[in-house]
Every structure is written in structure tokens, then in C-alpha cells.
Amino acid sequence: MKKVLVTGFEPFDGDELNPSSVLLDWLKERTFDFEVYTAVLPVSFTSASEKLNAAIEKYNPSHVLLTGFAKNRTELTIERIGINWVDARIPDNDGYALKSQKIFQNSPDGLFSTLPIDQILNAANNAKCPTKISTSAGEYVCNHLLYTYLLHHKKVPGTFLHIPGADCHEIFFQGIGAIINCL
């Protein structure tokens, strides 16, 4: 049975809102032909994975969409690869900054998304959402979470989507809704 878990992050870097957590509220107002669960995660190198693991245990999803905010991007970006590297430009919300280091010493340098990237790109584009595939989720908590997720939850297909900076996020939320439906 199809059950989708969508996560977002709390605000960080001085912002009052994070569009990825606003997305979760938007999703709660929508109706799907299957269960869609949501979870807000802390912007934390140490506890984001723990909270994600708890949500996966609680909801037992068939698919996971991790979402975050990339202020300087202009399109919804589907992350193809989680890299085994962090180099935080700012501290996380716990005041912790991982600098120029591997996430796990004896693990692959990169892990590929376990969702059909081209299929979800087409779904977002068909919804008229400006979308592209990205080969880097950055070097901050988003990538740390994606890489850790892909390393430990290979049986639950998932990827990461970055919501861009914009005055209005409705078109990007609609694109994510289309992605959820196509899974």
C-alpha cells in the first residue's frame, strides 16, 4: 500500500519561516488517494536523522520525500546524489558546524536517490513547476540527512527536494503535490 512521508525543516539562519515546513501545512489541506504523512525536522546535524528515523518507524512509509529550503535557487531541485561530505557555512540550530569532513569514514563518496528521478521531474514539469535535477544537495544539514537516509533506509525509496527562494511558493508546492501523486 502506498504511504508517503514528506519531511520539512524548521526555520534556520535567522529566517522566521522555512518554506519546507510551510509545505507540510499545505499538504495537510490536500486530499490524496493514499496516506500522506508529514514531519518537521530540526536543522540539526545530530538530531535530524533521529527524528526522521522515528517518523519512518511510526508511519512505515512506502516512499520518503525529504524537503528543504535553498534560498539562492530559482527552481525546485530534485537531488540525484547524497554526498559523503559536510562543510557547513553556518552552524546548525544547535550551534554546531561540521567543517570539511566525511559524514561516515568508511562509506561510499556518494549514494544515488532511490526514487525514479526522471519520472518525478516529468510529474513536476507537467504541473508547470520550474524544476531541474541537481547533483548536489549541498554540504549542510540537507545533504547530511539525505546521505544518512540513503545509507540506512535502502528499502524505503526516497530522495530530497529543495524548494527555492521565491515570493510565492504555490507553484512549487503544486509541483511537489504532483510528484507525490506520481510515486
CATH of the domain at 98: 3.40.630.20
Distance CA(147)–CA(149), nearest Å, equals 5
pLDDT at position 118, please? Answer: 97
- Cβ atoms of 115 and 157 closer than 8 Å: yes
The whole-model pTM stands at 0.97
What total number of domains does the chain contain?
1
80 is in which domain, residue-wise?
3-182
Which residues does the annotation mark as catalytic?
A: 79, 142, 162
**CB 162, CB 73: distance < 8 Å:** yes
Phi first, then psi, for residue 6 (nearest 5°) are -115, 130
pLDDT in 10s for each residue of the chain, 183 residues? 999 999 999 999 999 999 999 999 999 999 999 999 999 999 999 999 999 999 999 999 999 999 999 999 999 999 999 999 999 999 999 999 999 999 999 999 999 999 999 999 999 999 999 999 999 899 999 999 999 999 988 889 999 999 999 999 999 999 999 999 999
